[in-house]
Structure formats: C-alpha cells, structure tokens
Amino acid sequence: LLKTLPLTPNGKLDRKALPEPDQVRPEMAQAYIAPSNDVERKLSGIWCDVLCLNRVGIHDNFFDLGGNSLLAIQVIERVRQVFGDDISVIKLFQYPTVSSFAGSLKDRAGDQVRLYRVENRAKARREAIIRRKEQKKENKIIV
C-alpha cells in the first residue's frame, strides 16, 4: 500500500507516477493448492490473466484476490470463449473459488444431459399419443 498518492501540480491523481501492481498472490488464510484437472487449470489461468496475478489456487476467492464486478464480467466472457458455454456472471458470485466454479460447470453439463433425456422422453410420449389417435381414427373408419 502507498502511504500517499502521487499528485499532479493541479492536485489530481498522477496515474503515470503510480507503481505497477504486484503480480504476486496476496497472503491468504488458506494455503495455495494448485489446480488438479484441466477445467481448474483453464479457470485458474483465466483468473491469473484478468487479475494480473502469477498464480491462483483452487480455494482462493476471486473477490479476496482483488476481483470486482467489472473483472467478473471479463472472467465470464473469457470462460464463455474457452468453454463455449453461455454462463451468467451471477455464477461467479455464487461460486467464487476455482474449485467451486469448476464444479458448477460440471454440474451444468450433467443438468444438460438430464434435460436432453427428459426432452427425448417427452418427445417419445407425444409421438405415442399421436400414433394412438391415428390408430383410433383408422379403427373408426374401418368399422
């Protein structure tokens, strides 16, 4: 932290005189745990890029690392590009660690598979009902 902010002769903040931010992970209550699978590695890389850090552990909270709502939007946009999935920014607020966010992506894939199965079952039932109606019409015509 700076003791004083550099000012211009007009008394405004001199942004050019500010030091470059550190790219070191801040001290956290929990120890650094490296990503263990491909999804976690990709998410950790995205967070490192957006937050300008050299490493992010799977249990590090995005907002504790300096994340905010504007950076969250950048993260979600990058996640959409990498994973090709339409994800709401709310997801990052609900699952603020790499581990929990990765788990939510896996759960979402499972939900989509279940939804696909339900849709197929519903389609099969609709087709069966249509066939029964057609058979009843044919039976009435024959009689």
- In this predicted structure, what is the pLDDT of residue 46? 95
- In this predicted structure, what is the pLDDT of residue 6? 87
Residues 21-142: name the CATH superfamily: ACP-like (1.10.1200.10)
Q: Taking the domains of the chain in order of start, what are their residue ranges?
A: 21-142
Per-residue pLDDT reduced to its tens digit, 105-142: 876 655 554 555 667 778 888 888 988 888 888 777 66
pLDDT higher at 85 or 100: 100
- In this predicted structure, what is the pLDDT of residue 18? 83
Return contacts of 24-27, CB within 8 angstroms, 24+ apart: 24/53, 24/54, 25/53, 25/54, 25/55, 25/56, 25/57, 25/60, 25/65, 26/64, 26/65, 26/66
- In this predicted structure, what is the pLDDT of residue 117? 64
Per-residue pLDDT reduced to its tens digit, 11-70: 998 888 887 766 555 566 678 888 989 889 999 999 999 998 888 999 999 998 889 999
Burial class (CB in 10 A: 0-12, 13-18, 19+), 92: buried
Measure the CA–CA gap between 77 and 50, rounded to whole angstroms. 11
Q: What angle do CA 60, 63, 66 make, to 5 degrees?
A: 100
pLDDT at 1 over 80: no
